Amino acid sequence: DVEMIRVIRSARTQGEERGIIQKECADIRAQFRQGDNGERSHSLAKLLYVHMLGYPAHFGQMECVRLIASPRYSEKRIGYLGAMMLLDEKQDASLLITNSIKNDLSHSSQYVQSLALCTLACMGSAEMCRDLAPEIERLLRASNSYIKKKATLCAVHIIRKVPELAELFTPSARSLLSEKNHGVLHGAVVLITELCEHNPDTLDQFRKAVPELVQIMKGLVTSSYSPEHNVAGISDPFLQVRILRLLRILGHNNDTASDAMNDLLAQVATNTDSSKTAGSAVLYETVLTIMDINSESGLRVLAVNILGRFLLNNDRNIRKKNTLFSTYCTLLFLLYAPPSGFYCSRALELSLALVSAVNIRSMMKELLIFLSTCPPELRSQTTSGIFNAAERYSPSKRWHIDTILHVLTTAGGDVRDETVPNLIQLITTASELHCYTVHKLYRALVKDISQQPLVQVACWCIGEYGDLLLKGECEEIEPVQVTEDDVLDALETVLQSHMSSPATRGFALTATMKLSTRITDNVDRIRSIVSIYGSCIDLELQQRAVEYNALFKKYDHMRAAVLERMPVMDKNSPGHTNGDTSGENKEPDPSKPKPVEAGLLSEPASQVCDLLDLLGGTDTPLQPNPAPTSTPTTTSSADLLDLLGGLEPTPVYEKNGLSLEIQCDKQTETEVMVTLIGSNSTQNDITNFNLQAAVPKSVQLQMKAPSGNVIPAHGLGQVTQTVVLNNPNKASLPCLFLCSCLSH
């Protein structure tokens, strides 16, 4: 009703519109109650408009049922339209129209039959489909093309609702391919596709129709099969796409069917104009079909070339088709196209997502090739993705190490900070590859020192396994024949290079120091190198050099033990997160041997355990002695926080008569003040007691003067020392407490 529409549209507010709608709905209800007065269809039409505006119209459902049963076409048309809009298979009222639809399917008028077919295809429930399936199969054999095309689509709906009824339509579906009418032929291809997808047993039967489908497709490509369906110069692109999809299903894993369609696919790929959207759609389906069937290698190359043209197209919709298209575009980006921009980033993300244990070697090969040519803004993303994929799917430790070293050599400046400790941890766990790794890293170090992460790992590895390098023997790789001077020259080059960062120089200095226990003829040279950096302007490097000089002089007898090889690092040990910032505390593995606890040193006169702990622990456990001469103790972040929870002193270490307790005196969000209390229950006094602490660089440490350096025997006295920890960044608080002492 034009007047009703005008009044509703003239409403200025939503409240005014609701008032108009309520008034109109009341009038419509009154018209429905008056019975057959000739206005029912008009009232239902108005109600359908109200429904389109989003207002309730459920009270018109029964009126739809009455109008469908009417003998008048005008009322029947509105009734079926109302049923499609107001009813669905969940409504009980939908069952009431089943008999009316069945009667109308046999009506003499094709238009009434069409109304019944459209309604069944739109909202037919499973029960209705079972009851009316024989009628639909009968109409598939009708001579009227107008009815056939609607019956075909109705059959598709029935198969989707009741798959077991598919066999009923199989014989009729094949005969529909001989139709010349566009609508019937299009519906037949859709029906056969649905049958093949729901019932694979029918594939062999419909593969016999491949030559017929090929002929239909050739007619579309070479001539104007249906001029009224021509779109931008492409003859019936919708039918072409449907046929190509069906051919893809029929040719999958079948050589005979694939051979029958190879020539056609080549013809379509060659003759279809890709400058128009319709042509691009056809070519896209052609590429998918070529890739999914057992096609010839030349045809696949042609498909890749088509994708290359797509990537150069200015239409964004063509370049961003869907997931499968992006998959092929990814390979094209990595293999052929110069990568840049947003699309290359998306292609990279998709490539990384496709990596699995099955294809890790082949995909990693392409990713490494891509890394060597990718734009700078994508290098960080690429290296992170490669590292994650290698750690998750690496087939062997050697392959894993080689992959990371390749990345460090190619793009070492774009890797994350945790890459170096992660690789070091991986190398330490691969004991059988230590010789191979140190030889390979030495070669890389001599060749190029510009990639700082690579240089850091190389220096660490030379410091740890320099003796293996100097032996000149290695089964996994051709060994490098080097002398002690060659190795020290390489490390000095790193120390003196302007390209070396302070952290890299620290690695090189530590490696040089560690070599003092692995070589025999150049210890004096190492001592000279270390002493030079005792006055270095960089405080970190200066501190290392001073401490190493102390090992050469005052504690030379301990140097071999302190500079021993690092033990195998547990990836889940405290302080080693491997990039995991979740902070989750993991339970220790009971199957693994516990680390040897630092023991007590004994010497005839005195023995000092300098607790710098700069170069790691030792593989050789220190021998215990009843006399408490050296006592290190470590408190982790979680333990320290637990210990500081109360005011009462809490024991943190107790062995051989020496007891250490920690007491929290003050605690705020950024500052902790604790008192360490040492007591002695042995028969001898402990003299020269010295307590030290180590914390991360982000935490400021202040140690007050101790109350003394002698702990009386028999628990007759204590030594206390106050420690203040200032943590402005609120970082995790691992703390290492170490002590040294003499016993009499």
Binned at pLDDT 50, 70 and 90, residue 156 comes out as very high
User: For the chain, what are the domain ranges?
Assistant: 431-566, 650-743
pLDDT one-digit tens code per residue, 545-584: 999 999 898 888 888 888 888 877 665 544 444 333 333 3
- Answer yes or no: is pLDDT of 743 > 60: no
- Answer yes or no: is pLDDT of 611 > 60: no
* Amino acid, res. 534: G
Who wins on pLDDT, 738 or 103?
103
pTM of this prediction exceeds 0.75: no
Contact 512, 529 (CB under 8 A): yes
- Answer yes or no: is pLDDT of 494 > 90: yes
Who wins on pLDDT, 398 or 591?
398
Determine the Cα–Cα distance for residues 262 and 432; give it in Å rounded to an integer. 53
Residues 6+ apart with CB under 8 A from 579: 416, 418, 422
- Over range 621-635, report the average pLDDT: 38
Q: What angle do CA 186, 189, 193 make, to 5 degrees?
A: 140
Residues 6+ apart with CB under 8 A from 171: none
Binned at pLDDT 50, 70 and 90, residue 178 comes out as confident
Mean pLDDT of the chain: 79
- Answer yes or no: is pLDDT of 331 > 70: no
The predicted structure's pLDDT at residue 398: 92
What is 554-583 written as a DSSP string? TTGGGHHHHTSPPPPPPTTSTT--TT--S-
- Answer yes or no: is pLDDT of 593 > 90: no
- Answer yes or no: is pLDDT of 647 > 50: no
Residue with tokens 């809490």: 650
The predicted structure's pLDDT at residue 590: 37
The predicted structure's pLDDT at residue 557: 86
Contact 39, 31 (CB under 8 A): yes
Q: Which two tokens stand for residue 55?
A: 């207002």
Interstrand relation of 658-667 and 700-703 (parallel, antiparallel or unpaired): unpaired
Who wins on pLDDT, 61 or 600?
61
- Answer yes or no: is pLDDT of 455 > 50: yes
Contact 286, 244 (CB under 8 A): yes
Sheet holding 650-655, edge to edge: 650-655, 658-667, 671-680, 718-726, 700-703
The predicted structure's pLDDT at residue 181: 82
Who wins on pLDDT, 318 or 32?
32
- Over range 709-717, report the average pLDDT: 84
Contact 576, 570 (CB under 8 A): yes
Binned at pLDDT 50, 70 and 90, residue 408 comes out as very high
Binned at pLDDT 50, 70 and 90, residue 168 comes out as confident
User: 659: helix, coil or strand?
Assistant: strand
The architecture (CATH level 2) of 650-743 comes to Sandwich (2.60)
Q: Which two tokens stand for residue 316?
A: 């964004």
**Range of 213-217, 328-332, 666-670 with top mean pLDDT:** 213-217
Say which range, 48-62, 225-239, 338-352, has the weakest mean pLDDT: 338-352
Binned at pLDDT 50, 70 and 90, residue 737 comes out as low
- Over range 404-426, report the average pLDDT: 89
Q: Which two tokens stand for residue 696?
A: 């991360």
Residues 6+ apart with CB under 8 A from 1: 42, 45, 46
The predicted structure's pLDDT at residue 56: 86
Q: Is 493 exposed, middle or buried (0-12, 13-18, 19+ CB in 10 A)?
A: middle
Residues 6+ apart with CB under 8 A from 622: 561, 598, 599, 600, 601
Contact 8, 53 (CB under 8 A): yes
The predicted structure's pLDDT at residue 725: 84
Q: Which two tokens stand for residue 50?
A: 């109200």
